[in-house]
Amino acid sequence: MTNGGELQLIREQGWRIGFVNLMRREISRRFSMRNWLIQGVIWLVLLNLVLALVLEAEEGGQTITAGVTAFILATSVLAPIGMVVAAHGAIINEKKAGTAAWILSKPASRIAFILSKFITIGLGFVIIVIFLQGLIAYTQLSVFGGGLIPAFPFLGALILMAINVIFYLSFTLFLGTIFEARIPVLGIPIGLIIGQVFLLAFLGNVSEWLPNLFPGSLSDMAIQTALESSTSAPWILPVFVTLSLTALFVYLAIVRFRSQEF
Amino acid sequence: MHTEAVVVHTDGLCKSYDTINAVKSLDLSIKKNSIVGFLGPNGAGKTTTIKLLLGLTRPTGGSATVFGHDIVKDSIEIRKRVGYLAQDPCFYEYMTARETLRFVARFYFSGPQHAIEQRVTDTLTNIGLEHHADRPIRGFSTGERQRLGIGQACINSPDLLILDEPASSLDPMGRRDVLELLLELRQQTTVIYSTHILDDVQRVSDMVAILNRGQLVSFSPIEQLLSGNSGTVYSLVIKGDASQAQANVASQPWVSSIEVTSENGQTIWQVKVTDDKAAEEQLLTLAMSDGQMTVCEFKRKEYELEEAFMQILDSSDND
């Protein structure tokens, strides 16, 4: 094999092989200005317009509390659903279109294939939907409150919501390696998001700490964190559980994808 | 055996899907710089064999190496040195041909941007897509896609080029270009290509592998295949009464059979012999010894690849 003078043959080994190239493609695909503008406007309407309406409707001293609660609740439900919609075709589309087989006929590791999608989809979504919308919401809340609201607790709440959506990304990617059709990949995580709302209420009646074993409890925790409410909830537990489940689903997605044939 | 002289070596390679045996105990050894035509009817196991060699699917039995690397454990090392064109090439539709080639080149090479661009531009020129380089692939014709597929398979100047039906969607000019490319690559590359176009195989292949129902039923040099697998046959075109001469020839111990057909007032003999030398020295003389007939044509029969291919498939079906 000739390299044509200045070109060097790639030297990466193991799982890293093809990673940089796949990352570059995913970034150019997902981080385009047009994509960001469309996403930004959609989420501005879905999250910050809701917040603006709540702030307009509320009167008296509870405006900020109601606004923070509304924003975090809306983000906790809509952002994971958005993440599932954004990620559900990431694996399946490539399998169906034959591009996964094409990529894997080149020197590219299957781990690099999964990780490049996990990182770029996750990063793009968290920046646009959680932190950008969070910044706009923070500005709205501060304007309505007549002064800056505490920044670090609000940032802490955004981080908790980011952890929540990343969990759904890992779960959706994992399902994409199992199923060949879109419906289960889309339906199962959305069912989990909505189902958890009722499940956590039920579990909360059984035991106070039981909901903390589910990623859905991060939304309550985010509200308490943003509002600096005193809480007896062991915040580390749902964070640990959610991060562990995220790592587990990424691992399972890799294992499953490595065993697939094209 | 596992030296660089042998590029591909399979040892009892098998692949089954539930109850279907897609590849059955394949034993194959492909030497460096040879052009191997993979032939067989649909579902014979050609594409499955190619996918096994590339690590896209895993064997259910046996083993195989490419460049001495195990196809299961060292698949990435193999793919670093292989160029592959799939039967139905798939690309990212939003990308242009240039972007696609750039993307593929970066799987193999690192280095300055201008060097990558030069490699991409050279490839676009070689495949005749330089004027469509910046158009999204979604607007490409089937032939243009096939050309791009060939370009991306060759962009790393591979040591082994695997082409699955490379000429299937090409017009006659494109087909000619592919065959010329294969012949040009002969010096530096080993080529495996599957096709249904037997004429192409006959023109460029050194070796022909014929698969049927997942089994390798023939693997031999093209010359050997074209000379037939059931003994040497001589063909004679005769005018006049040939009955006495036929009896004379048939009585010779080195003649195993004579097949007689008539066409346009001429008689055609297909004489199958067991001793080539005796046939060369005596057959024509024996035929002409009878003054009642004239021999218009005498030659050793050469099979067309299609004929040889059909014979081999028929006999493997009967086994």
Together in a domain, B210 and B249:
no
pLDDT of residue A209: 76
Please tell me which residue, A58 or B20, carries the higher pLDDT value: B20
Overall number of domains in chain B:
2
CATH of the domain at B257: 3.30.70.260
Angstrom distance (rounded) from CA A120 to CA B225: 54
Q: Give the residues across from B294 on adjacent strands.
A: B239
When mean pLDDT is compared across A60-64, A90-94, A252-256, B112-116, the lowest value belongs to: A60-64
Q: Is B116 on the interface with A (CB under 8 A)?
A: yes
- B110 lies in some domain: yes
pLDDT of residue A232: 58
Sign for the CA dihedral angle at B143, B149, B154, B158 comes to: negative
Together in a domain, B125 and B76:
yes
Angstrom distance (rounded) from CA A101 to CA B56: 7
- B312 lies in some domain: no
Q: Which residues of A touch B20 (CB under 8 A)?
A: none
Q: How confident is the model at residue A4 (pLDDT cuts 50, 70, 90)?
A: low
Residues B66, B50: contact at Cβ < 8 Å?
no
Q: Which of B54, B109, B115 sits opposite A10 (nearest CB)?
A: B109
Q: Which of B58, B84, B103 sits opposite A105 (nearest CB)?
A: B84
pLDDT tens for chain B, residues 1 to 319: 445 699 999 999 999 998 899 999 999 999 999 999 999 988 899 999 999 999 999 999 999 999 999 999 999 999 999 999 998 899 999 999 999 999 999 999 998 999 999 999 999 998 889 999 999 999 998 888 989 999 999 999 999 999 998 887 788 888 888 888 888 888 889 999 998 888 888 888 999 999 999 999 989 888 888 776 667 888 889 888 878 888 888 889 999 889 888 888 888 998 988 888 888 888 888 888 877 788 889 888 777 788 788 888 887 777 6
Report the amino acid identity of residue B302: E
Angstrom distance (rounded) from CA A246 to CA A254: 12
End residue of a domain, out of B226, B241, B275 = B226
Residues A112, A106: contact at Cβ < 8 Å?
no
Please write the tens of the pLDDT for every residue from B9-44. Answer: 999 999 999 889 999 999 999 999 999 999 998 889
Q: Is B12 on the interface with A (CB under 8 A)?
A: no
Name the interface residues of A facing B (CB cutoff 8 Å): 1-11, 17-18, 20-21, 24-25, 29, 97-99, 101-102, 104-109, 261-262
Tokens of A147: 């002064």
**DSSP-derived secondary structure for A11-64:** ---GGGTTHHHHHHHHHHHHS-HHHHHHHHHHHIIIIIIHHHHHHHH--GGGHH
CA-to-CA separations, B20 to A200, B13, B14, B64, B120, in angstroms, rounded: 48, 15, 11, 20, 42
Which candidate in A17, A23, A93, A105 is best for mutational testing of the B interface (most B CBs within 10 A)? Answer: A105
Together in a domain, B118 and B265:
no
Domain residues of chain A, as ranges?
14-26+33-258
Angstrom distance (rounded) from CA B39 to CA B143: 22
When mean pLDDT is compared across A54-58, A166-170, B74-78, the lowest value belongs to: A54-58
Together in a domain, B51 and B158:
yes
Angstrom distance (rounded) from CA A52 to CA B38: 67
Q: Give the residues across from B219 on adjacent strands.
A: B209
Q: Which residues of A touch B158 (CB under 8 A)?
A: 1
The stretch A60-87 carries a mean pLDDT of 91
Q: How far apart are the first and last CA of chain B?
A: 30
Q: Which residue of B has its CA nearest to A261?
A: B57
pLDDT of residue B1: 47
- Residue A174 CA, distance from chain mean position: 14
End residue of a domain, out of B211, B226, B241 = B226
Together in a domain, B208 and B145:
yes
pLDDT of residue A63: 81
- B317 lies in some domain: no
Exposure pattern of A32-63 as b/e (b: 16+ CB <10 Å)?
Answer: eeeeeeebbeebbebbbebbbebbeebeeeeb
Together in a domain, B256 and B134:
no
Q: How confident is the model at residue A61 (pLDDT cuts 50, 70, 90)?
A: low
Please write the tens of the pLDDT for every residue from A121-149. Answer: 999 999 999 999 999 999 999 998 888 89
pLDDT of residue B223: 81
Together in a domain, B167 and B32:
yes
Together in a domain, B66 and B194:
yes
- Burial class from Cβ neighbours inside 10 Å (0-12, 13-18, 19+) for residue A120 reads buried
Together in a domain, B238 and B216:
no
Q: What are phi and psi of A227, to 5 degrees?
A: -90, 0
End residue of a domain, out of B226, B261, B286 = B226
**Domain, as residue range, for B98:** 6-226
Angstrom distance (rounded) from CA B162 to CA B167: 13
Together in a domain, B143 and B180:
yes
Together in a domain, B173 and B140:
yes
Together in a domain, B120 and B252:
no
- B220 lies in some domain: yes
Q: Which residue of A has its CA nearest to B109?
A: A9
